[in-house]
Amino acid sequence: MKEHDEDLLDLPGDWLSAEDGPGRGPGGGDDVRATSETPAEGETPTEGERQTGGERPTGGERPAEGETPTDGGTPAEQESARGADDRAAARDDRLPPGQKLRRGWPVLHYGPVPRFKPDTWSFQVFGATADGEKHSWDHAAFSALPRAEVHADFHCVTRFSMLDNEWGGVLAATILELAPPAPEVTHVMVWAELGYGSNLRLSDFAAATTIFATHRNGEPLTAEHGFPVRLVVPHLYAWKGPKWVRGVEYLTADRRGFWEERGYHNIGDPWREQRYSYQEGEGEGPAL
């Protein structure tokens, strides 16, 4: 894997707690950490894992689509049942292929949770910027940037989805406005702690709902879910939005990120079930 030089992001060398050990993951893992919503490298969820917490509660069997109860229910009960069917159908329309609803928010990442150090934390934009300069915000300055709210669903490649999330934070469009890319930029690499990166097409990064989230449903993110900042790209699988984001690099050519180099799809559109690199069509990603 092509690792990013730490000094480009000015990452403090001691962000990792001493008990974790330098360059090691839990259980003595390797020197690379993935920090997004994915299974560990090489893993896929078992059928049991897919089902756990993911089945839609139904409260018993429903009539087939378009039918009404035939058990002698009152007109009001039948109308209520039809309304429940309509709500379930609308909900199902929001689930990409192969996804199941989950009420909770599982914690999925590869490697330790970094300790947040506000005195040394910074968010940087670099690479092919329009002015050729690197742009940087400390935590106080980043927290003072214009804020927005995004109402969006969340789809993990491990086959669970959570509907109706309220994300609060800084829109990617705001970052693009404050630190514009050069005209020749086509992609970005979003960098997180210790060299983890996820690549995105510029159009996906610039989408109206792409947000550097600090809050979910009105509450600050927990450390396990990416505090202080995680990227959320609602129209792509969640691994495309890293936790513990530290910066954005503007690219004039596509370059695969951490999971994209390890068999995951370069784009990650859940509506097309773009889970794995073997599914990629011509022009959908650099050669592996």
pLDDT in tens, the chain (288 residues): 333 333 334 433 333 322 222 222 222 223 334 445 544 333 333 333 332 222 223 333 333 444 444 445 666 555 555 554 444 555 678 999 999 998 878 888 777 899 999 999 999 999 999 999 999 999 999 999 999 999 999 999 999 999 999 999 999 999 999 999 999 999 999 999 988 999 999 999 999 999 999 999 999 999 999 999 999 999 999 999 999 999 999 999 999 999 999 999 999 999 999 999 999 999 999 998
pLDDT at 209: 98
pLDDT at 12: 35
pLDDT at 79: 59
Q: Which CATH number fits domain 15-45+109-279: 3.30.1960.10, 3.40.50.1950, 3.90.870.10, 3.90.420.10?
A: 3.90.420.10
pLDDT at 74: 65
CB contact set of 78 (below 8 Å; sequence gap of 6+): 68, 69
pLDDT at 104: 79
Check if the beta carbon of residue 203 is closer than 8 Å to that of residue 1. Answer: no
Report the alpha-carbon distance of residue 12 to residue 64 in Å, rounded: 59
> Residue 137: which of 56, 229, 242, 247 has the closest Cα?
247
Q: What angle do CA 248, 252, 150 make, to 5 degrees?
A: 40
pTM over 0.85: no
Looking at residue 103, what DSSP letter applies?
S
Distances (CA, A) of 187 to 107, 138, 181, 209: 28, 24, 10, 17
Domain assignments of the chain as residue spans, ordered by start = 15-45+109-279, 55-101
CB contact set of 237 (below 8 Å; sequence gap of 6+): 37, 155, 156, 157, 265, 268, 269, 270, 274, 275
